[in-house]
Amino acid sequence: MSSIRSHIIASGSYLPERILTNKELEQMVDTTDEWIYQRSGIKQRHIASENETTVSMAVEAARKAIRNAGVSPQDIDGVIVATTTPDNTFPSVAVSVQAALDIPVGIAFDVQAVCTGFVYALSVADNFIKGGQLKRVLVIGAEKMSSVVDWEDRATCVLFADGAGAVLLEAREDSDGGILSTHLYADGRMKELLYTNGGVSTTGQSGKIVMQGREVFKNAVTLMADAVTAALEKNNMQPEQIDWLVPHQANSRIIEATARKLNLPMEQVVLTVDHHGNTSAASIPLAFDEAMQAGKIKPNQYVLFEALGGGLTWGSALVKI
């Protein structure tokens, strides 16, 4: 078995300047700050300007991750972007990031697993590294969800938001740290629970989000708990050995339910949904970077990522920093 492990050596993130508060949403649709906060835990979210795109946000997040790592773009050989909202149908967001940052010829492509995208991308990058094909890979989650939100649908427009987060993975030999395991799942029979009502080969446009929120909620709690259990079992670990849970930031009630199942106090859960909203594939790396820059997550700590999104897709990744 390969002794190569993928280590997260740095992170970075980017949020648009414009903040949209629940109070402002009260002027746009029939809702209240109280309803939004009670049901989702969201107070405010960042929304991209017309000039900000998934690529531009991804580039800024990646630039910071590279700077924080103290490496040169020349030393990076892979770029994997998790996104549902690319600037163009093709080429990928990843190649645009590669070009913008002067990253030399290597592997660059996008991964589409909606809100689970970052966990999927991390797993794909990890396998490239463990297989010896790549040495330093940027894994980015970037979304302009505001472009696929139906701003007249109060059930969804209050939830989604924009932003980007990035981590830089590095191959290290004979290490006991880094990415310890990833578990990915999908069940297409539940695709009707969350989708866009259009696409390139149907309507010729991206379409807008349609969601059966209550059904997604019910599945989210059990499926994410399953993914977390799989990670713990694979690594022979007990829940109390986890230092930080960094969950997909869809809804604080889902996050609290998962933490309860793990017996993890909320002080060990990175919670950003209150000020970031649901940024889909960007939410985990955004939350991770916030906790890293605040000095909360420290070397040698065990961090558990978990997510669920449209598809349905879900998964987890356990990392020793």
Per DSSP, the three-state class of 303 is strand
Quote the CA–CA distance of 204 and 207 in Å, as a whole number: 9
Closer by beta carbon to ligand ACO, 137 or else 145: 145
List residues binding ligand ACO (CB under 6 A): 31, 35-36, 39-40, 114-115, 154-155, 158, 194, 213-214, 216-217, 220, 250-251, 254, 278, 280, 308-310
- At 41 the three-state DSSP class reads coil
Q: How far is the CB of 111 from ligand ACO (least distance, A)?
A: 14
Nearer to ligand ACO, 16 or 309 (CB): 309
CB atoms within 10 A of CB 219: 18
Report the nearest approach of ligand ACO to the CB of residue 33 (Å). 10
Decide whether 96 or 280 has the Cβ nearer to ligand ACO: 280
What gap in Å lies between CA 150 and CA 159, rounded to an integer?
A: 11
Which of 22, 115, 219, 251 is catalytic? The answer is 115
Say if residues 142 and 61 touch (Cβ distance below 8 Å).
Answer: yes
For residues 48 and 69, which CB has a smaller minimum distance to ligand ACO in the complex? 48
For the CB of residue 60, give the shortest distance to ligand ACO in the complex, in Å: 22
22 tagged catalytic: no
Please say whether the beta carbons of 302 and 237 come within 8 A. yes
CA distance 249 to 96: 26
**Residue 21 Cβ vs ligand ACO, minimum distance, rounded to whole Å:** 14
Which of 46, 183, 248, 276 is catalytic? The answer is: 248
The two three-digit tokens of residue 7, written as one number: 């280590």
Neighbours of 126 (CB within 10 A): 25
From the list 256, 254, 251, 319, the residue with the least C-alpha distance to 288 is: 319
Residue closer to ligand ACO, measured from CB, 36 or 69: 36
Yes or no: say if 63 and 107 are a contact pair by the CB < 8 Å rule: no
Smallest gap from residue 94 Cβ to ligand ACO (A): 20
CB of 157 to ligand ACO, least distance (A): 8
Question: Toward ligand ACO, which CB reaches closer, 35 or 109?
Answer: 35
Q: Which is nearer to ligand ACO, 157 or 318 (CB)?
A: 157
Helix, strand, coil percentages, rounded to 5, for the chain: 40, 25, 35
Q: 51 burial class (0-12, 13-18, 19+ CB within 10 angstroms)?
A: exposed
Structure tokens at 254: 């889902």
Contact between 143 and 279 under an 8 Å Cβ cutoff? The reply is: yes
In b/e form, how buried is each residue of 81-108, taking b as 16+ CB within 10 angstroms? bbbbbbbeeeebbbbbbbebbebeebbb
Is residue 235 annotated as part of the catalytic site, yes or no? no
Q: Is residue 248 annotated as part of the catalytic site, yes or no?
A: yes
Residue 189 to residue 10: CA distance in whole angstroms? 37
* CB of residue 278 to ligand ACO, shortest distance in Å: 6
Q: Which residues are catalytic?
A: 115, 248, 278
